[in-house]
Amino acid sequence: MSINVWSILKFFAYVAIIMFFLFPIAWIFNMSFMTNDEILRKVPVLFYEPTFKNYIGLWEGEIAIEGFATMYVYFKQNLINSAILSVGSVSVTLLLGVPAAYAFARYKFKGGEDIAFTLLSFRFAPALLIILPLNLYFSEIGLYDSYFALIWVYQLITLPLLLWIVRGYFEDISPDIEYAYRLDGHSWFQSFWKISIPLAKPGIAAASLLCFIYAWNNFVFALILGSSQIQPVTVGALAFITASAIPYGLIACGIVVSVLPTLILALFIQKYLVQGLSLGAIKG
Amino acid sequence: MSYLDLDNLSKSFKDDKIISNLNAKIDKGEFFVVFGPSGSGKTVLLRLLSGIMMADSGEIKMDNQIINELHPEERDVSMAFQNFALYPHMKAYENIASPLRAKNKNMPENEIHEKVNEIANLLKIGHVLNQFPKELSNGQKQRTSLARSLVDKPSVVLLDDPLRNVDAKIRFEMRLELPKVLKEFNTTVIYITQDFREAMALGDRIAVLYDGKFNDIDSPKNIYQNPSSLTTAKLFGDPTINNFDATIKKQDGFVKVDVNGEIFNLKRNTKIQDGKCIVGIRPEDIVLSNDHSENSIEVEFRTKTPLNLRIVFLVRLKNGLELLCSTTEEESHLIDENKKMYIYFIEEKSHFFDIETKRNLE
C-alpha cells in the first residue's frame, strides 16, 4: 500500500518537473503557429487553426500584421550568421584546443599550469568588462564588423571550456596505450591521431557541443562588435520589437527556428557520448 | 658477440637514482629474465630499452648500433605491457595487425590476415579476433598483447611481467607455452618478473636487479646455488634462506661455525679467512632427524607447516637461534616431534657472506 502512495507521489513529482522545464518550450512552440490575435486573447486558446504565416514571413523577410504596417526582418541572414559564427568558432577551438589540451595533459613544461589557469580565468571575467576596450581596438585595426573578429573573440569563451574538458579525457588515457602504438612502429603524430583522439572522442564531442551552444547563445559580443550584417539570431531577434508592434507569433517562431540547430546537434552527438561512456566503463 | 649491450646505463628522477651504471650483455635469441623486488627499477629499465624513456647516461647498443637516441618506432623492439595496453577502440584483430600495418604500409591485406591468424592460432586466441578488448578475459587480453608484440617477428621482445595480471591457471599454462612459442621466433627476449619461480622456470639467464644494477647475471641454477650476495640469496627461495652471524674457524679439514657457543662442524674446504661472517643455509639444506650423528646439534621443536608439497619446521637451538628447515612429506613422517631432534647442515650447501658488504665470500 505504502509503495502505491510512493509511486503516485513520484508520478506527480515527475509531472511537476517536466511541466516546469517543458511548458515554456511547448507554449512557445504553440505560439509560433498562432496569429498575434489568438496569442493576445485574454483567455488563452488551446484549440486553434494552426497557421504557417509566421514561418513563411520569417523566411521571406516580410510579414503583414493586422492593423500595422508590414514588418521587414533579416532573420534568414541572422540564422546564416549564427551558423557561420558558431561553426567557425568551434572549428577554430577544435583546431587549437585539442592539441593544446593534449600538451597540457601529457607534458609537464615550465609555466604549463599557469598558462592553463590563465586560459581558464578568461571565463571568470564578465564580457562587459572587456567589451569596451575590445571595441576600441577592433575599430582601430579594422576588425570591427567582421566574422573573423567575432570568431576570434568567441575563443575567449569556447577555448578554455574545451581545453579543460578535453584535457581531463586525455589524462584518463593510459600513456602506455600510446607507447604501445609507437612501439608498433607508428609515429608520434599517428598515435595522437589514431589513438589519443579517438579515445578522447566522447570528451571532444561533449566539449564541442557545449562550445557550440555557448557560441550560438552569445549576445553581448555580437551586439557590440558587429553590425546587423554579421549579427546572429540572438541579436537579430531584437529587431522584432518595434515601436509600432510586438509580433509575438513571429518571435516565437524565431525562437523555435534558432533552438532547432542546437537540439539536432545535441541529439546527433548523444550517440557519441553514450558510446564514450560504454568504452570507458571497462578498462581496456 | 653479444647482440644487446647495455653499458653503464643510468636513469634518475630528480634525486632518485633508479638505475645507476647498469651493465649487461645479452645474446641473440636468449631468454633473459630480469628479476627484482618491486620498486627496483625493472619497468624503468624496460622503458629505457624501448625508447619510451631516455637514459641520463650510458649506452644501449643493439647489433653494434647505438640506439640511445632513437624513438620507440625507430627501434626494432616490441613490448608487451603489464597492463596489456590494448587499443580499446580496435578489435583484437586490428590490435594484432597494428605492427604489420605500421612497418610495412604496402603489405597486402591477405598477407596481414595470414600472419595475424598464424600468431593468433599459436597463442590460441583465433576465435576472439573479432572482439573488442573489453569483451576479452584477462588471459585473452594478455595473449592478444603477446600476439601483437610477436606478430612482426621483432629482433628484441620486451615482456613486462606479462603473467602478473592473469589468474593462476593461465599463468601456469603460459609458463609452459611461452618458452616454446618464443623459441620458435628465435627472438631475444627480455622478461621482467617479481616471481623467482617464474624467473627460474623461464630464463636462460637471470639478472637480479636491485640497488640500480644487476647484481648477478647467471643461469638460474648458479644463482640459486651460488648467489653473489645475501640479498640475492634472500630473493630466491621460499621460505627464504636462513642467515645468522657466526665466527668461522678452519681446523683439520673442517670449517667450525660458532654461533653463540653452538658449533657446527662442516667437512669442507673453503678459501675464506677465519673470523666473523654471516652464514646462510637454505631450509632444504638442513637435515632434520631424531638420530644423533657425529656433527649434528640438538634442537627444540617449535612448529611446522606445509608449504609447496614440503613440510617446513621451525626449530630452536639451545642458544635461542631459530632456524627453518624443510623436508619432503615422506621424510616428515619419520620425524617424531616429541623425541629429541637434531640437525646438521649439508656441508657444501652452506654459504658465507661478508658482515659489512653482504657479498658471498667464496
| More reliable by pLDDT, A182 or B262 | A182
Percent of chain B with pLDDT over 90: 53
Nearest to B88 among A185, A186, A284 (CB): A284
- The verdict on A284 touching B (C-beta cutoff 8 Å) is yes
Whether residues A66 and A93 share a domain: the answer is: no
Query: Cβ separation of A284 and B86 shorter than 8 Å?
Result: yes
Question: What's the confidence (pLDDT) of residue A276?
Answer: 54
Distance from CA of B214 to the nearest CA of A (A): 25
- State the angle between helix axes of A248-281 and A75-106 in degrees (0 to 180), rounded to the nearest 10: 20
Distance from CA of A232 to the nearest CA of B (A): 39
Taking alpha carbons only, the member of B171, B217, B222, B162 closest to residue B192 is B162
pLDDT of B45 > 90? The answer is yes
Whether residues A40 and A87 share a domain: the answer is: no
Query: Cβ separation of B72 and A190 shorter than 8 Å?
Result: no
Whether residues A90 and A216 share a domain: the answer is: yes
Answer with the one of A72, A94, A128 that is the final residue of a domain.
A72
Whether residues A89 and A228 share a domain: the answer is: yes
Q: What three-state secondary structure class fits A156?
A: helix
CB atoms within 10 A of CB B142: 26
The number of folded domains in chain A is 2
Whether residues A219 and A116 share a domain: the answer is: yes
3-state helix, strand, coil in chain B (%, to 5): 30, 35, 35
Answer with the one of A12, A46, A72 that is the final residue of a domain.
A72
pLDDT of B1 > 70? The answer is no
- State the angle between helix axes of B92-103 and B138-150 in degrees (0 to 180), rounded to the nearest 10: 10
Question: Which residues touch A112 (CB under 8 Å, ≥6 apart)?
Answer: A103, A104
pLDDT of A10 > 60? The answer is yes
Q: Suggest the residue from A184, A192, A193, A275 to mutate for an interface test with chain B (most B CBs closer than 10 A).
A: A184
Highest mean pLDDT, choosing among A89-98, A256-265, B131-140: A89-98
Whether residues A10 and A41 share a domain: the answer is: yes
C-alpha dihedral sign at B348, B349, B354, B359:
positive
Q: What three-state secondary structure class fits B338?
A: coil
How do residues B51-63 score in pLDDT, each as one tens digit? 999 999 999 999 8
Name the amino acid, one letter, at A101. A
Q: The domain that contains A114 carries what CATH number?
A: 1.10.3720.10
Which DSSP category does B273 fall into?
P
Cα B198 from Cα B283, distance rounded (Å): 20
Q: Which chain A residue is nearest to residue B96, measuring alpha carbons?
A: A184
Cα B142 from Cα B127, distance rounded (Å): 15
Residues of chain A neighbouring B73 (CB-CB closer than 8 A): 182-188
Nearest to A181 among B84, B87, B103 (CB): B87
Weakest mean pLDDT among A130-134, B55-59, B96-100, B242-246: A130-134
pLDDT of A280 > 50? The answer is no
ipTM topping 0.90: no
Whether residues A63 and A79 share a domain: the answer is: no
Residues of chain B neighbouring A284 (CB-CB closer than 8 A): 84, 86-88, 133-134
Question: Which residues touch A268 (CB under 8 Å, ≥6 apart)?
Answer: none
Taking alpha carbons only, the member of B35, B51, B43 closest to residue B18 is B43
Taking alpha carbons only, the member of A246, A244, A211, A216 closest to residue A78 is A216
Distance from CA of A172 to the nearest CA of B (A): 13
Whether residues A27 and A47 share a domain: the answer is: yes
Q: Which of residues 140-159 of B touch A (CB under 8 A)?
A: 148, 152
B319-346 burial, b at 16+ Cβ within 10 Å, e below that, comes to: eebebbbbbeeeebeebeeeeebbbbbe
Residues of chain B neighbouring A176 (CB-CB closer than 8 A): 81, 83, 85
Question: What's the confidence (pLDDT) of residue A2?
Answer: 62
Cis peptide preceding B283, ω within 30 of 0 = no
Question: Which residues touch A95 (CB under 8 Å, ≥6 apart)?
Answer: none
Query: Cβ separation of B87 and A177 shorter than 8 Å?
Result: yes
Per the DSSP assignment, residues forming a β-bridge with B306 are B311
Taking alpha carbons only, the member of A39, A30, A29 closest to residue A66 is A39
Spatial contact of B46 and B160, defined as CB atoms under 8 Å apart? yes
Query: Cβ separation of A184 and B78 shorter than 8 Å?
Result: yes
Q: What is the mean pLDDT of residues A84-99?
A: 96
Cα A280 from Cα B41, distance rounded (Å): 30
Per residue, the 3-state secondary structure of B193-255, as one string, reads ECCHHHHHHHCCEEEEEECCEEEEEECHHHHHHCCCEHHHHHHCCCCCCEEEEEEEEEECCEE
Q: Which of residues 184-223 of A touch B (CB under 8 A)?
A: 184-188, 190, 195, 198-199
Question: Which residues touch B318 (CB under 8 Å, ≥6 apart)?
Answer: B262, B298, B299, B300
The bridge status of strand B254-259 relative to strand B262-267 is antiparallel
Whether residues A42 and A95 share a domain: the answer is: no
Distance from CA of A101 to the nearest CA of B (A): 21
Whether residues A79 and A65 share a domain: the answer is: no
Nearest to A183 among B79, B83, B89 (CB): B79
Distance from CA of A252 to the nearest CA of B (A): 44
Per the DSSP assignment, residues forming a β-bridge with B207 are B34, B217
Q: Suggest the residue from B48, B86, B98, B140 to mutate for an interface test with chain A (most A CBs closer than 10 A).
A: B98
Weakest mean pLDDT among A44-53, B136-145, B319-328: A44-53
Verdict on whether the full-model pTM lies above 0.90: no
pLDDT of A1 > 80? The answer is no
The confidence band for A61, taking pLDDT boundaries of 50, 70 and 90, is confident
Segments forming the whole domain that contains residue A125: 75-280
| Mean pLDDT over each residue of chain B, to the nearest integer | 90
Query: Cβ separation of A182 and B148 shorter than 8 Å?
Result: no
Answer with the one of A20, A38, A72 that is the final residue of a domain.
A72
Report the greatest alpha carbon distance in chain A.
76
- The verdict on B13 touching A (C-beta cutoff 8 Å) is no
Q: Which chain B residue is nearest to residue A201, measuring alpha carbons?
A: B89
Q: Suggest the residue from B48, B134, B136, B164 to mutate for an interface test with chain A (most A CBs closer than 10 A).
A: B134
Cα B31 from Cα B157, distance rounded (Å): 10
Residues of chain B neighbouring A186 (CB-CB closer than 8 A): 73, 98, 102
Percent of chain B with pLDDT over 70: 100
- The verdict on A106 touching B (C-beta cutoff 8 Å) is no
Question: What's the confidence (pLDDT) of residue A68?
Answer: 67
Kindly state the cell numbers that stand for A200. Answer: 578522447
Distance from CA of A171 to the nearest CA of B (A): 15
| Mean pLDDT over each residue of chain A, to the nearest integer | 86
Query: Cβ separation of B89 and A199 shorter than 8 Å?
Result: yes
Nearest to A176 among B83, B103, B134 (CB): B83
Query: Cβ separation of B98 and A284 shorter than 8 Å?
Result: no
Nearest to B88 among A179, A183, A279 (CB): A279
Whether residues A60 and A197 share a domain: the answer is: no
pLDDT of A281 > 80? The answer is no
Residues of chain B neighbouring A190 (CB-CB closer than 8 A): 102
Percent of chain A with pLDDT over 70: 93
Whether residues A54 and A103 share a domain: the answer is: no
The confidence band for B185, taking pLDDT boundaries of 50, 70 and 90, is confident
Kindly state the cell numbers that stand for A135. Answer: 571595441
Q: What three-state secondary structure class fits A13?
A: helix
Q: Which chain B residue is nearest to residue A180, measuring alpha carbons?
A: B85
Q: What three-state secondary structure class fits B35?
A: strand
Question: What's the confidence (pLDDT) of residue A282?
Answer: 39
Q: Which chain B residue is nearest to residue A197, measuring alpha carbons?
A: B89
Query: Cβ separation of B86 and A185 shorter than 8 Å?
Result: no
Q: Which of residues 1-40 of A touch B (CB under 8 A)?
A: none
Cα B61 from Cα B116, distance rounded (Å): 30
